[in-house]
A and B are shown apart, each in its own frame.
Chain A
Amino acid sequence: AQSVTQLGSHVSVSEGALVLLRCNYSSSVPPYLFWYVQYPNQGLQLLLKYTTGATLVKGINGFEAEFKKSETSFHLTKPSAHMSDAAEYFCAVILNRDDKIIFGKGTRLHILP
């Protein structure tokens, strides 16, 4: 069973436009949620994470994500895209406190000039 689903393997937005990358998870208990970014020829690095507390989480490079329990979602947004945001983005989840992190398939973000 797929625990984390990223809608759209490729997303294209114009420079300056809103970035929205979608992530949904399957869990009956509150999960820990993460967004990682992978730039070309590099490893993954953490953008932001939600564990407890405020459901709107701010990360690096102007990105933020909101945990919506009713929608089982953790979508990633940025108000204005920059060319440097072109990368692959991975949503990840820990479903149980003793379980391992599970990564989504990734969404490649393309920025159009």
Chain B
Amino acid sequence: DAGVIQSPRHEVTEMGQEVTLRCKPISGHNSLFWYRQTMMRGLELLIYFNNNVPIDDSGMPEDRFSAKMPNASFSTLKIQPSEPRDSAVYFCASSLYGTAYSGNTIYFGEGSWLTVV
């Protein structure tokens, strides 16, 4: 079975450029999560969707960040303009019925490693 697929795996970009990270969740999963991982702050939830609808975006750091989920099999996280402090690993994850129903397992992608110089 294909897991959560993220692209690109690695991205190096210059400050001020737009960055788009992509995610394909596991087929049949109806919840999707975007996390950011840094040494300083650990794993942070940025936003999550249920049935393509954003449920909680309180973790999105600022207006430079936006996320969309146009259909059940695709999501994007966009940073515009990017800054050096955005350098991190960004993980997409998916699950059935969100996190609260029977403690459903969240499946993570392998991450997108972003470096902004």
- Which positions in A face B, CB cutoff 8 Å? 32, 34, 36, 41-46, 49-51, 90, 94, 96-101, 103-106
Contact = CB atoms under 8 A, between A and B. Distances in A.
B34 interface: no
A42 B100 CA distance: 25
Interface of B: 4, 42-43, 45, 48, 56, 91, 93, 98-100, 102-103, 105-111
Contact of A103 (B42, B48, B103): B42
Nearest to A98: B100
B4 to A, nearest CB: 7
Contacts of A34: 103
A43 B43 contact: no
A40 to B, nearest CB: 11
16 contacts: A34-B103, A42-B110, A43-B108, A43-B111, A44-B93, A46-B105, A46-B107, A49-B103, A51-B102, A51-B103, A94-B103, A98-B100, A100-B48, A101-B106, A103-B43, A105-B42
Classify the interface of chain A: helix, strand, loop or mixed. loop
A77 to B, nearest CB: 20
A44 B91 contact: yes
Given A43-B109, A51-B103, A103-B42, 11 more contacts: A41-B110, A41-B111, A43-B91, A44-B108, A46-B106, A90-B43, A94-B100, A96-B100, A100-B56, A100-B100, A101-B106
B48 A106 contact: no
B53 to A, nearest CB: 15
